[in-house]
Amino acid sequence: MRIERFVVGSIETNAWLIESEGEAFLVDPGAEDQALLTAASQAGLVGVFLTHGHVDHIAGLRPFIGQGVRVFIGGLDAAALYDPRVNLSVWMGQPFSVPECVPQTLTGGETLVFGEMHCQVLHLPGHSPGSIGLLVNGHLFSGDVLFQSSIGRTDLPGGDFQTLQQSIRETLYRLPDGTIVHPGHGDDTTIRAEKNDNQYCRIEKG
Residue 74, burial from CB neighbour count under 10 angstroms (0-12, 13-18, 19+) = buried
Look at residue 142 and give its three-state secondary structure: strand
Q: Does residue 203 lie within any of the structural domains? A: no
Q: Does residue 44 lie within any of the structural domains? A: yes
In percent, the amount of the chain with pLDDT more than 90 equals: 91
User: pLDDT, tens digit, for every residue of 8-37?
Assistant: 999 999 999 999 988 999 999 999 999 999
What's the pTM value of the predicted model, to 2 decimals?
Answer: 0.96
Q: Does residue 15 lie within any of the structural domains? A: yes
CATH for 45: 3.60.15.10
Q: Does residue 206 lie within any of the structural domains? A: no
Number of domains the chain contains: 1
Q: Does residue 178 lie within any of the structural domains? A: yes
Q: Which domain holds residue 181?
A: 2-197
Q: How far, in Å, CA of 42 to CA of 122, rounded?
A: 28
84's CB contacts (< 8 A; 6+ apart) are 55, 90, 95, 96, 97
User: pLDDT, tens digit, for every residue of 59-103?
Assistant: 999 999 988 899 999 999 999 999 999 999 999 899 999 999 999
Residue 166, burial from CB neighbour count under 10 angstroms (0-12, 13-18, 19+) = middle
Q: Does residue 94 lie within any of the structural domains? A: yes
Q: Does residue 140 lie within any of the structural domains? A: yes
Q: What is the mean pLDDT of residues 145-158?
A: 97
Q: Does residue 148 lie within any of the structural domains? A: yes
CB 27 within 8 A of CB 18: yes
Residue 203, burial from CB neighbour count under 10 angstroms (0-12, 13-18, 19+) = exposed
CA distances from 130 to 8, 51, 109, 146 (A): 22, 8, 13, 15
Q: How far, in Å, CA of 121 to CA of 167, rounded?
A: 13
Q: What is the mean pLDDT of residues 100-114?
A: 95
Beta strand pairing status for 150-151 and 146-147?
antiparallel
Whole-number pLDDT of residue 204: 66
H and E: helices and strands count for the chain: 4, 14
